[in-house]
Amino acid sequence: MKIDILTLFPEMFKGVFGSSILKRAIEKEIVDINCINIRDFSKDKHKKVDDYPFGGGPGMVIKPEPIYDAIESVKAADSRIIFLTPKGKVYNQSIANSLSKEKHLIFLCGHYEGVDNRIIENYVTDEISIGDYVLTGGELPAMVVIDSVVRLIPGVLGKEESFIEESHYDGLLEYPQYTRPREFKGHKVPEVLLSGNHKKIEEWRKYKALELTYIRRPDLLKNKKLTKEEEKLLKQIKEDMNKLL
């Protein structure tokens, strides 16, 4: 996959791609990530890229020409051009899955100021928000999206790091994990995990994943098609919780 990031602050990305799983994905040539400075496309002698908003009001707006030229310098026929904005569709794992199958992603990051809306209306294919809060720019959201997308590309995670069992993979939050020691400051690891009985462990994990999702994120259960076994477990979870009340 090729990823191009159009930004006024390319230095913000230094370090992010130089460590851990993203670094490995770049080294293995599974992904090729480039930062492009929108300012390099300014035709202004002072490299100015913004101007006052028509109609007045506070702040500045990034002009369309340097963004258009920056997009044109990297765009291919099948590129997805993603603008990071709090007005966008709220990001989730299913969007991450869909983006991970693309050949070319272009991320357009605004910073402080707005972007001339003609770029968004005519050239952007996706508007994404990473949540209902406002950041100073699209750079951090772009990093969040890129990290969550790249780890889904086949070959990026090793066998030991599989995402098959983690939160949101199958529409549930992940079951709790424990490691040695068996007892820590008087707090014991759940007995079933020490039993060696794989069927019982599987059942316990499914119960815990469903329980956690039911308590913390019932909205996720509404969007998920439960198997017969999961429905039975959920019924039991509700009964068990009623007993505690």
Q: Give the relative orientation of helices 93-100 and 139-150 as an angle to the nearest 10 degrees.
A: 70
Binding status of residue 134 toward ligand ADE by CB under 6 A: yes
Both ends of the chain: CA-CA distance in Å? 52
Specify the stretch interacting with ligand ADE by CB under 6 A; choose among 29-37, 129-137, 182-190, 193-201: 129-137
**In the bound complex, what is the minimum distance in angstroms from residue 56's beta carbon to ligand ADE?**
22
Binding status of residue 84 toward ligand ADE by CB under 6 A: yes
Binding status of residue 86 toward ligand ADE by CB under 6 A: yes
The position carrying tokens 């429905």 is 231
Binding status of residue 233 toward ligand ADE by CB under 6 A: no
Name the residue nearer to ligand ADE (CB basis): 141 or 171: 141
Position among 26, 60, 135, 152 found at the interface with ligand ADE (CB under 6 A): 135
Binding status of residue 54 toward ligand ADE by CB under 6 A: no
**In the bound complex, what is the minimum distance in angstroms from residue 50's beta carbon to ligand ADE?**
16
Amino acid at 34: N
Binding status of residue 60 toward ligand ADE by CB under 6 A: no
| Tokens encoding 175 | 């079951």
Sheet holding 126-129, edge to edge: 32-37, 2-7, 104-108, 80-90, 126-129
Binding status of residue 133 toward ligand ADE by CB under 6 A: yes
Position among 10, 66, 141, 171 found at the interface with ligand ADE (CB under 6 A): 141
Q: How many chain residues touch ligand ADE (CB under 6 A)?
A: 11
Binding status of residue 155 toward ligand ADE by CB under 6 A: no
Known binding site for S-adenosyl-L-methionine: residues? 110, 130-135
Binding status of residue 129 toward ligand ADE by CB under 6 A: yes
- Gap between the Cα atoms of 109 and 77, Å rounded: 21
- Gap between the Cα atoms of 205 and 174, Å rounded: 8
Q: Give the relative orientation of helices 228-244 and 198-216 as an angle to the nearest 10 degrees.
A: 70
Element (H, E) at 240: helix 228-244
Sheet holding 114-115, edge to edge: 50-51, 61-62, 114-115
Binding status of residue 87 toward ligand ADE by CB under 6 A: no
The position carrying tokens 């059942």 is 203
Binding status of residue 130 toward ligand ADE by CB under 6 A: yes
Binding status of residue 120 toward ligand ADE by CB under 6 A: no
- Closest C-alpha among 168, 31, 167, 164 to residue 100: 31
Residues forming contacts to ligand ADE in the complex (CB under 6 A) are 84-86, 129-131, 133-135, 138, 141
